[in-house]
C-alpha cells in the first residue's frame, strides 16, 4: 500500500524529531470488519505519547476532536495517523504493533537511516520504500524555505504560506510563543501528520534570524 502525502517534508539533516506513522486497512482486501482493529492500532499509537494523532476521515486531537470522539466514530475505512518527536517512541510503538499482530498496514515516514535502524531493533523489514524526488518547475515561485518546511508538514496543503507568515509575525511581536503558534498552525491539518514540536523549533529559528537581521540593519 502506498501513501504519498507524508513524503514531501523538508527539514535539515540534524532534525531527528519528526516521524509519521499511518495505519489503515487495504480496502476491498481486509477492510471488512477492520474498525475494531484500527481502534486498537490507535490506542497503541496513543499509548506512546505522539505529539499529534488523528483519524484522517474525521480529524485529530489538535484540530478539535477528542480521543473518545475519534474512537467512537472510527469505521472500517479509518485512517489512523500519529506523529512522534522521539525515535524511542516510534520503536516502542512498532514493537507493540508487531506484538498485537492486528493485520493492518503500517507506514513509517522519517529519515531512511533512522527508520531502518528502528525496524531492525524490533525485528521488522519494510515491505516497500517510497521517496520524494523533490519539486520541479518554477521553483522560484515557492515560499521561503523555512515557510515551506512548515507547510509541507500537512500533506493536503491545509497549512498555507500566508497562514504561516502571519502566525510567525505574531510570535515576532510577542503575541504568541513558538509553541502556541505551532498548535495554531496544526489545527487545519485534519489528517494529523503536522508536527507541532518541529514547527515550534522552525518558528523560533525564523524569529531569531529575523531579530538578528533587524539588529544588523539598525546598527
Query: SS3 for 184?
Result: helix
Give the pLDDT confidence of 114-168 residue by residue, as tens digits. Answer: 999 999 999 999 988 888 888 899 999 999 999 999 999 998 889 999 999 999 9
Position 3 in a domain: no
User: Please, are residues 71 and 42 in contact by the beta-carbon 8 Å criterion?
Assistant: yes
User: Please, are residues 24 and 78 in contact by the beta-carbon 8 Å criterion?
Assistant: yes
Q: Which domain holds residue 76?
A: 19-121
Whether 151 and 209 map to the same domain: the answer is yes
Whether 155 and 96 map to the same domain: the answer is no
Exposure string of 68-91, with b = 16+ CB inside 10 Å and e = fewer, is eebbeebebebbbbbbbbbbebbb
The answer to whether residue 2 scores a pLDDT higher than 60 is: no
Give the pLDDT confidence of 32-62 residue by residue, as tens digits. Answer: 999 999 999 999 999 999 999 999 888 899 9
Whether 99 and 24 map to the same domain: the answer is yes
More confident residue, 11 or 128: 128
Whether 115 and 171 map to the same domain: the answer is no
Whether 150 and 205 map to the same domain: the answer is yes
Whether 24 and 57 map to the same domain: the answer is yes
Give the pLDDT confidence of 88-101 residue by residue, as tens digits. Answer: 999 999 999 999 99
101: left (phi over 0), alpha (psi -120 to 50) or beta: left
Confidence band, pLDDT 50/70/90 cuts, at residue 13: very low
Amino acid at each position: 500500500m502506498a501513501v504519498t502525502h507524508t513524503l514531501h517534508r523538508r527539514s535539515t539533516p540534524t532534525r531527528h524529531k519528526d516521524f509519521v506513522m499511518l495505519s489503515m486497512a487495504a480496502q476491498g482486501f481486509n477492510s471488512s470488519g477492520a474498525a475494531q482493529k484500527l481502534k486498537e492500532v490507535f490506542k497503541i499509537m496513543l499509548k506512546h505519547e505522539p505529539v499529534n494523532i488523528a483519524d484522517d476521515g474525521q480529524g485529530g486531537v489538535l484540530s478539535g476532536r477528542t480521543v473518545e470522539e475519534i474512537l467512537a466514530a472510527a469505521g472500517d475505512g479509518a485512517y489512523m495517523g500519529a506523529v512522534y518527536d522521539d525515535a524511542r517512541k516510534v520503536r516502542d510503538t512498532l514493537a507493540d504493533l508487531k506484538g498485537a499482530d492486528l493485520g493492518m498496514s503500517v507506514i513509517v515516514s522519517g529519515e531512511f537511516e533512522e527508520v531502518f535502524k528502528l525496524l531492525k531493533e524490533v525485528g521488522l523489514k519494510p515491505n516497500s520504500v517510497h521517496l520524494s524526488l523533490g519539486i520541479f518547475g518554477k521553483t522560484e515561485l515557492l515560499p521561503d524555505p523555512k515557510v515551506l518546511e512548515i507547510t509541507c508538514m500537512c500533506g493536503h496543503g491545509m497549512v498555507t504560506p500566508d497562514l504561516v507568515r502571519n502566525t510567525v509575525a505574531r510570535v515576532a511581536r510577542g503575541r504568541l510563543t513558538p509553541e502556541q503558534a505551532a498548535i495554531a498552525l496544526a489545527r487545519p491539518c485534519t489528517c494529523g501528520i503536522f508536527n507541532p514540536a518541529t514547527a515550534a523549533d522552525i518558528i523560533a529559528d525564523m524569529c531569531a534570524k529575523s531579530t538578528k537581521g533587524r539588529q544588523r540593519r539598525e546598527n
